Amino acid sequence: MKLLFIGDIVGAPGRKAVKEVLPDLRARHDLDVVIANGENSAGGNGITPDKAADIFAAGVDIITCGDHLWDQRDVIGLLDSEPRFVRPINYPPGTPGQGSTVLEREGLPPVGIINAQGRTFMRGDLENPFLAVREEVKRLAPKAPVIFVDFHAEATSEKIAMGRMLDGEVSAVVGTHTHVQTADEIIFPGGTAFLCDAGFTGPHDSVLGRDWEPVVQRFLTSQPHRFPVAKSRVLLQGVVIEVDGATGRAMAVERVSEGLAE
Ligand SMILES: [Fe+2]
Ligand SMILES: [Fe+2]
């Protein structure tokens, strides 16, 4: 089976890229499952039920999130009642929403999806993601032969360590959050596909999806600035992973960086 994971969708340009590029990718790669990180889909900050509906309508099966989870008040609608929305699992017990889900579809093995958030160079108030993910993999493994982990983290070391810990336990570990696609795709010896960062889906004539001029001003002046979502050179970025549905082992991993016609 083939799975596409789409890196952080940024604003309206990112949503447009998913809508317009995904059908072609689906045909070309014969995709079975599409997972996307949606933490920046609402104007760059967070996600709302409306924006999630757009993304689902474009063909995404499951949306994951990250540190921008709480940027939009309306996210609570997704946390409370959207079974296709997954937030980082390492929030304290009692936090609304779910840190994983299992996608069941006719003709496919059940696919577990776990989202976790790193702690190195990030807000440090979440639980240990390594312990949380290890526990969750144990819980999901008996019912889902294929498990995908979106590890939303800043440090390459933390992400690689997560991939190594889970080698042979899950089908793939892919990083998000830095918005810069890395070129280190690999299948570890135990059969787990890994990529440090999937990149982002949105305008790349920018700093991580925002107009670059105010970001430069911010660094020059140390004063706050507004960071509007940029407009041009829109790319859908992510990774296609081919998995043996019976064993859960990854067989191929291929980065995607696909332009939207302007
Ligand atoms: Fe992001
Ligand atoms: Fe993030």
Per-residue model confidence as pLDDT tens for the chain (262 residues)? 999 999 999 999 999 999 999 999 999 999 999 999 999 999 999 999 999 999 999 999 999 999 999 999 999 999 999 999 999 999 999 999 999 999 999 999 999 999 999 999 998 789 999 999 999 999 999 999 999 999 999 999 999 999 999 999 999 999 999 999 999 999 999 999 999 999 999 999 999 999 999 999 999 999 999 999 999 999 999 999 999 999 999 999 999 999 987 6
Placement of tokens 């859908």 in the chain: 236
Radius of gyration of the chain (CA): 17
CA 186–ligand 2 middle distance (angstroms): 23
Q: β-strand 193-195 against 172-176: which pairing, if any?
A: parallel
The gap from C-alpha 39 to its chain's centroid, in whole angstroms, comes to 8
What is the C-alpha to C-alpha distance for residues 68 and 78, in angstroms, rounded to an integer? 14
Neighbours of 4 (CB within 10 A): 24
How do residues 51-71 score in pLDDT, each as one tens digit? 999 999 999 999 999 999 999
68 included as an active-site residue: yes
- Report DSSP state, residue 178: S
Token code pair at residue 231? 């407009």
Q: Is the pTM of this model over 0.75?
A: yes
Closest CA to 38 of 16, 58, 55: 55
CA 91–ligand 2 middle distance (angstroms): 15
What is the C-alpha to C-alpha distance for residues 18 and 51, in angstroms, rounded to an integer? 12
pLDDT on residue 261: 79
3-state secondary structure (DSSP) of residue 217: helix
Q: Which of 29, 68, 152, 177 is catalytic?
A: 68
Which chain residues have CB less than 5 Å from ligand 2, an ion? 66-67, 177
pLDDT on residue 66: 98
Label residue 75 left, alpha or beta by phi (over 0 means left) and psi (-120 to 50 means alpha): alpha
CA 140–ligand 2 middle distance (angstroms): 25
Ligand index nearest the alpha carbon of residue 153: 2
Ligand index nearest the alpha carbon of residue 115: 2
CA 8–ligand 1 middle distance (angstroms): 5
Ligand index nearest the alpha carbon of residue 9: 1
- Report DSSP state, residue 197: -
How do residues 110-162 score in pLDDT, each as one tens digit? 999 999 999 999 987 899 999 999 999 999 999 999 999 999 999 999 999 99
pLDDT on residue 123: 84
What is the C-alpha to C-alpha distance for residues 169 and 145, in angstroms, rounded to an integer? 10
CA 179–ligand 1 middle distance (angstroms): 6
3-state secondary structure (DSSP) of residue 5: strand
Ligand index nearest the alpha carbon of residue 10: 1
Token code pair at residue 104? 């069941």
